[in-house]
Amino acid sequence: MWIQRQIELRPRPRGFHLVTDEIAEAVPELTSLSVGIATLFMQHTSASLTLNENASPDVRRDFAEWFDRAVPDGAGYFAHTLEGPDDMPAHIKASLTGSSLTIPVASGALALGTWQGIYLCEHRDSGGARRVVFTASGESANIRS
């Protein structure tokens, strides 16, 4: 059994944003899979996805702080500057965190750990809406009923 859906995440300010519930609500069919694998895939090169702590907003703030220091806006050694001082850092941050997440499915839900949440990593100042492709395959619980 295969599930595939385009999910559009509304525009968000630069930073790290918790989108676990928004993703889960977009794929109600997931409840029919007893076991499987789900992939979330970001179709952009200046935003990305990662899993991290789902509780303290300070963690997400500190992510932004660290990444902005590690890959500074407008660094003098960048050649690709036409699209603004936040563009080339956005590309590098996107590759450091990654374009996709692969998450096991168990008993009809994403098998996240207790403290894990899905972060939309928005690396542009004005990135706009972001498209994510959700794809899952697995065994349907109903097959055996």
Residue ranges in contact with a second copy by CB under 8 A: 2, 4, 35-37, 39, 41-45, 50-53, 56, 58-59, 61-63, 65-66, 69-71, 75, 77-80, 88, 91-92, 94-106, 111-116, 119, 131, 133, 135, 137-139
The CB-of-106 to a second copy minimum distance in angstroms stands at 7
Half-sphere exposure of 28 (CA within 13 A, CB side): 0
Q: Which is nearer to a second copy, 2 or 25 (CB)?
A: 2
d(CA 80, CA 18): 30
Please, what is the minimum distance in Å from the beta carbon of residue 80 to a second copy? 4
Q: Closest separation between CB of residue 41 and a second copy, Å? A: 5
Tokens of 84: 């603004």
Q: Which is nearer to a second copy, 12 or 78 (CB)?
A: 78
